[in-house]
Amino acid sequence: MILVLTAIWPYLGHSQQSNSGRGAPLKAPVAIYKVSPLHPDALYRRAIEGEAVVSVTVDVFGNATDPKVESASAPEFGEAAKKAASEWIFEPATKDGVPTEVRAKLPFVFEIAFEHKMNVEMEREVFVELSGPIIPSSELAEDPLPSYVPQFSQFYPKAFRNTGKSAAVNLEFVISPKGHVLNPRILSISAEGFEEAALKAISHMEYQPILVDGEAVYVSMIRPIQITE
């Protein structure tokens, strides 16, 4: 008979009572080898995040078999999680010291790095490796002025709506030969929780190409901004 362990990772490994309620507690299986699922390519390219829950049978040898998708925010996430779950290896569950076959549920979360999400949102590469020379703006005759500045309030964090909170942020970034903002990073910020808003705001700014000896160049500069509602 297969006992059903209604535990969800990361709570696997905590002692659980068997369904019968008699005898010693059922000791849950403990994952000793875990495989992270691959983010489905089509969803990754669109910066779509999600989750899935897969149930598996953990046999007396600790193998994960018979994976079934219990839930998934997209079918592709379910299939990716199902494949990964089947490769997990456990110390088997035991009852009265005897290995016991159980069913267990494993949740998987598919997250995407902020940098990639920004690249997708901007429909261009914002975070890139630069190999050419970068001229500090301090070496120019005057600081470059943006040709376009978005309304920073549109990037205001939803979690702070109607709170009156604001943040002063100093950022460093590179202006590309096309006038795009590249590789923004925060040097200082007056309030936590505004980091992503500040990076998005500065990335939407645009500049005229900066010419040195008649040639468009990369220029690094530091700029303060204020994020308010």
pLDDT at residue 22, as a whole number: 61
Q: What is the pLDDT of residues 25-62, one digit of tens each?
A: 899 999 999 999 999 999 999 999 999 999 999 999 99
pTM confidence score: 0.77
Decide if 186 contacts 169 (C-beta within 8 A).
yes
Mean pLDDT of 50-75: 97
Distances (CA, A) of 85 to 6, 82, 124, 203: 16, 5, 34, 38
**Secondary-structure percent of the chain, ordered helix, strand, coil, rounded to 5:** 20, 40, 40
**Residue 54: helix, strand or coil by DSSP?**
strand
pLDDT at residue 216, as a whole number: 96
Mean pLDDT of 59-68: 97
Task: Tell me the DSSP string of 87-102.
Answer: T-EEEPEEETTEEE-E
- Bridge partner residues of 222 (DSSP): 172
pLDDT at residue 24, as a whole number: 75
Q: What is the pLDDT of residues 181-223, one digit of tens each?
A: 999 999 999 999 999 999 999 999 999 999 999 999 999 999 9
Statement: residue 3 has pLDDT above 80: no
Decide if 37 contacts 80 (C-beta within 8 A).
yes
CATH 3.30.2420.10 range(s) for the chain read 3-110, 122-227
Decide if 94 contacts 16 (C-beta within 8 A).
no
Mean pLDDT (the chain, rounded): 91
Q: What is the pLDDT of residues 18-30, one digit of tens each?
A: 444 566 789 999 9
Decide if 216 contacts 134 (C-beta within 8 A).
no
Neighbours of 126 (CB within 10 A): 24
Statement: residue 152 has pLDDT above 70: yes
Statement: residue 15 has pLDDT above 90: no
Which CATH superfamily, name and number, covers 3-110?
TonB (3.30.2420.10)
Instruction: Note the CATH architecture for domain 122-227.
Output: 2-Layer Sandwich (3.30)
pLDDT at residue 23, as a whole number: 65
